[in-house]
Amino acid sequence: MFFKCRNCGGNIVYDPDKKAMCCPHCDSLDSEEKVDSPALTETLKVTCASCGAPVDIKEHTSATRCPNCGNYFVIDERVTGSFKPHLIIPFKLGKNTAKDLLRKEFDKRPFTPQGFMTNASLDKMEGTYVPFFMYDYHSDMNYQAVGTKVRHWSDGSYEYTETSYYDVTRAMNADFDKVPVDASIAMDDGLMDLIEPYNYTELEGHQDKYLSGFLSEKYNMGERELTPRAEQKVIKDSQEMLHASVSGYATLTEVNETISPTKKAVDYALLPVWEYIYGYQGKEYKYHVNGQTGKVLGETPVAKGKVIAYGCTVFGLMAAFGFLIRAILLVM
Amino acid sequence: MNKFFKYFKVPFILLAILAVVTIGIRIARSGKPTGIERNNTETDLTTNVFNFAGNLEPSHVAALESLIESTEEEVGCDIAIITLDETLEGRYNSQPYQWVRDYAADFAAEHSMGYDKPNGNIIIFVDNIYREPSSGKVHSWLWTNGLAEEMIPTSEAEEIMDVALEYLTDYSDADDFYSAYAKVIELVPGNMRSTSQSMLRIFRPSYILIFALVVALLYILINWTTKAGVRTTVSTTYVENGRPNLTHKGDVFLRKTVTKRKIQTSSSSGGGGGGHGGGHSR
């Protein structure tokens, strides 16, 4: 589908700053008209509903930009039926805000190469809706350990150590609400875990219009396939809560620990991520900005020439400071 | 390039200020002496080691003379080493261990010692290897006057003596008297240096270069970060109501054990006398 402006015929996109559908050509707000796209062919080609050019579609793409006319459109088959997301958090941060956040985080790092985080390169940044499954779990936890408390005192001649032993038991349960697990192969699982948390109060029912102006994927893997990852996260959090409930002991020797997670429900959601890819010396460096909270992730490339230049300058400065202080002390 | 200068702007400015201060201080102090000048012309002493006991080899006496000469310039004090092998009984109205102290004071006055002026800055180490019958001990004293008295309190003098006299066991010919006396002289400057002189020991060229290298390497290491991000979720982030339901909590006492250990006490040794410097008796 393609969102067309009723006033000028241009491509209407969702503007996070205005929180509305906006026509970048005539500045009309909420003047969108949904135009159905031709069906996706078996060879993964689709005809752009705006300019009619044939566009190659990747295996999991659900929203993209036509390389011919630059207009954004949504692949109907990838957002309907079993692929229809239940929930979505629309982009809250616009591209310029995301660029500023990236610059703020990385521009001060001294060893980044020339041209890193310049406006020209940051313009290539794309907003992407990443598919997530959100799992609701109930977790029952039990813990048993032998704990010790130690007390020391002395009477002048002897030092005494009293060790008291306790049978420590805890039982607790917790209801986990919407534990997110990314369902995109292209996105690194570790990075997607780090980009959390999203503010769920802004979760809303899915609307296709939010995809216009951004890239998007349908889930690459089913929720059953991802259940072990969700369960792992629930067990890890349960363990942490269980251990946090025991305090005041010098040592704890675990006797028994059981965590039984039970899956209750699963939602399919799209969550917003700004992605910037920077190529340096044949390697791709990926940067992600949480499209809702602004949390920034990414590793910076290191320019060896800058390491030498900055390192030598620090060495020279420290040596100069030292020798100047020595020169003062010599005449005091 | 602009980014480079912007990045190092503050340290460059600080360095420039320090350079200006250094040049200013050097100009202001140019032509002024840096140490304490020898002004005493009244003393009749031409040597520093008085080997009355004869327990030092001539080569050792020469070596000690040389060591004392350089140390005197460094600390601005007249320094003398006196060895005795005679009883001092009946000469002073003080305790036996204080006779060496009084001997040193008399010696200094008799020869108008003092680096800056008569009765000025003086350090005399007296070692009487004669075992006094009245105390059954041999006595030593590090006597100080003037600046040395201020800079080397009794406790410090006793510490110097304790370290140096480790070389002496029974005051026989087998003892290494030279090393003991040399140690006394070597330890004196550590207490006599001014703050700036002490700091100069830290600001040696080799130390400065090593420190600068370490800081530069640390700077590179810290900035060569490859960490993609930090976890900002906690175990309760996705838990309803923000906390789990604790349904059971048990902390049941089982038993207790008590162990006891005898406290080791160390024996303490007594210190020497008061007044100028510190004494040592064995």
Residue at A282 is within a domain: yes
The pair of structure tokens assigned to A135 is: 């799992």
Distance from CA of B273 to the nearest CA of A (A): 32
Distance from CA of A220 to the nearest CA of B (A): 24
Alpha-carbon radius of gyration of chain B? 31
Identity of the residue in B220, B232, B256 whose CB atom sits nearest the CB atom of A295: B232
Chain B touched by A162 (CB under 8 Å): yes
Distance from the Cα of B241 to chain A's closest Cα (Å) equals 9
Same domain, A217 and A310: no
In a domain, A79, yes or no: no
The residue in chain B having the minimum alpha-carbon distance to the alpha carbon of residue A147 is B251
Task: Give the residues across from A142 on adjacent strands.
Answer: A171, A258
* Contacts B12 to A, Cβ<8 Å: 317
> Can you give the residue ranges of every domain in chain B?
1-32, 49-199+276-281
pTM reported for the whole predicted model: 0.67
CB < 8 Å to A298, chain B: 228-229
Instruction: Using an 8 Å CB-CB cutoff, list chain A residues near B220.
Output: 307, 310-311
**E strands, A241-281, where?**
251-280
Tens-place pLDDT, residues A243-292: 999 999 999 999 999 999 999 999 999 999 999 988 888 888 889 999 99
For residue B61, the cross-strand partners are: none
Which of A100, A89, A94, A102 is CA-nearest to residue A24?
Answer: A94
Interchain contact, B236 vs A194, CB within 8 Å: no
Give A-chain residues touching B219 at CB under 8 angstroms: 310-311, 314
List the structure tokens of A118: 């310049």
Rounded to whole angstroms, the Cα distance separating A51 from A11 reads 11
Task: Based on the fold, state whether residues A286 and A227 are members of the same structural domain.
Answer: yes
Query: What span, in angstroms and rounded, lies between the C-alpha atoms of A96 and B258?
Result: 67
Residues A220 and A314 in one domain: no
For residue B208, list chain A residues with Cβ-Cβ distance below 8 A.
318-319, 322-323, 326
Strand ranges inside chain B, DSSP E: 49-51, 78-84, 122-132, 137-145, 245-262, 278-281
Q: Which residue of A has its CA nearest to B236?
A: A237
Higher pLDDT, A300 or A196: A196
Question: In Å, what is the CA distance from A249 to each residue of A123, A151, A279, B101?
Answer: 55, 11, 52, 61
Looking at residue A27, its amino acid is D
- Residues 254-283 of chain A with CB under 8 A from chain B are none
Q: Which residue bears the tokens 């589908």?
A: A1
Residues A206 and A251 in one domain: yes
Residue A225, H or E segment: helix A223-244
Q: How confident is the model at residue A207 (pLDDT cuts 50, 70, 90)?
A: very high
Residue A108, pLDDT score: 76
Contact A191 B200 (CB under 8 A): no
Residue B135: predicted pLDDT: 85
The C-alpha torsion from A104 through A106 and A107 to A113, rounded to 10°, is -160
CB spacing of B212 vs A325 below 8 angstroms: no
What proportion of chain A, given as a percentage, has pLDDT over 90? Answer: 70
Choose among B29, B196, B238: nearest Cβ to A177: B238
A149 contact B CB<8A: no
In a domain, A317, yes or no: yes
Residues A310 and A172 in one domain: no
Q: A171: which chain B residues are within 8 Å (Cβ-Cβ)? A: 246-248
Residue A243 CA to residue A250 CA, distance in Å, equals 14
- Taking CA–CA distances from B214, the nearest residue in chain A reads A315
Is residue A309 domain-shared with residue A286, that is, in the same domain?
no
What is the C-alpha to C-alpha distance for residues B125 and B111, in angstroms, rounded to an integer?
15
**Which residues on chain B are in Cβ contact (under 8 Å) with A302?**
224
Q: What is the count of structural domains for chain A?
A: 2
Residues of A in contact with B227 (CB under 8 A): 299
Per-residue pLDDT tens, chain B, 282 aa: give them. Answer: 677 888 899 999 999 999 999 889 888 877 655 556 678 888 888 899 999 989 899 999 999 999 998 888 778 889 999 999 999 998 998 888 899 999 999 999 999 999 888 888 899 999 998 888 888 888 999 999 988 888 888 888 888 888 888 877 766 667 788 998 998 888 887 777 666 666 777 888 899 999 999 999 999 998 887 677 888 999 999 999 999 999 999 999 999 999 999 887 654 333 333 345 677 676
Residue B101 and residue B106: Cα distance in Å, rounded?
Answer: 9
Does residue A6 sit within a domain? no
Here the ipTM equals: 0.86
In 3D space, the residue among B153, B61, B62, B53 whose CA is nearest the CA of residue B100 turns out to be B53
Count the neighbouring beta carbons within 10 Å of the beta carbon of residue A1.
19
The residue range of the domain holding A249 is: 129-301
Cα separation, A156 vs B265, in Å, equals 10
**Is the separation of the CB atoms in A275 and A286 below 8 Å?**
yes
Distance from C-alpha of A3 to C-alpha of A73, rounded to nearest angstrom: 7
What per-residue confidence (pLDDT) applies to B32?
Answer: 58
Check residue B193 and give its pLDDT.
63
The answer as to whether A82 is a domain residue is no
Residues A236 and A184 in one domain: yes
In the prediction, which pLDDT does B83 show? 93
Rounded to the nearest angstrom, the minimum Cα separation between B212 and chain A is 5
Kindly determine whether residue A319 and residue B263, on different chains, have CB atoms separated by under 8 Å: no
Residues linked to residue B239 through DSSP beta bridges, in sequence order: A176
pLDDT digits (tens, 9 = 90+) for A144-189: 999 999 999 998 789 999 999 999 999 999 999 999 999 999 999 9
| Contact state of A163 with B248 under an 8 Å Cβ cutoff | no
Task: Answer yes or no: is A148 within a domain.
Answer: yes
Q: How far apart are CA A243 and CA A247, in angstroms?
A: 8
Two tokens, residue B112: 């108008």
Which residue, chain included where needed, has tokens 């240096």? Answer: B193
Q: A234, A92 in Cβ contact below 8 A?
A: no
Contact status, residue A237 vs residue B236, Cβ threshold 8 Å = yes
pLDDT of A47 above 60: yes
Residues 6+ apart with CB under 8 A from B83: B50, B51, B52, B53, B54, B55, B56, B127, B128, B129, B177
Q: Which residues contact B59 (CB under 8 A, 6 or more apart)?
A: none
Distance CA B194, CA B74 (A): 10
A235 at the B interface (CB within 8 A)?
Answer: no
pLDDT of residue B76: 83
Q: What are the φ/ψ torsions at residue B36 (nearest 5 degrees)?
A: -90, 130
Query: What is the chain B residue with the closest CA to A109?
Result: B223
- Please give the radius of gyration of chain A, using alpha carbons only, rounded to the nearest integer: 28
CB B64 within 8 A of CB B181: yes
Do residues A225 and A312 share a domain? no
Q: DSSP letters of B131-176?
A: EETTTTEEEEEEEEETHHHHHS-HHHHHHHHHHHGGG-SSSSTTS-
Q: Do B239 and A168 touch (CB under 8 A)?
A: no
Spatial distance between the Cα atoms of A159 and B264, rounded to a whole number of angstroms: 10
Token pair of B85 as six digits: 């092998």
Question: Which residues on neighbouring strands pair with residue A252, listed in sequence order?
Answer: A147
Pick from A191, A186, A149, A188: which is nearest to A166 by CA? A149
pLDDT at residue A87 tops 80: yes
CATH 3.10.310.50 corresponds to the domain B49-199+276-281: yes
Residue numbers in A near B248 (CB within 8 A): 169-172
Residue of chain A nearest B12, judged by CA positions: A317
Which residues in chain B have their CB less than 8 angstroms from residue A266's CB? Answer: none
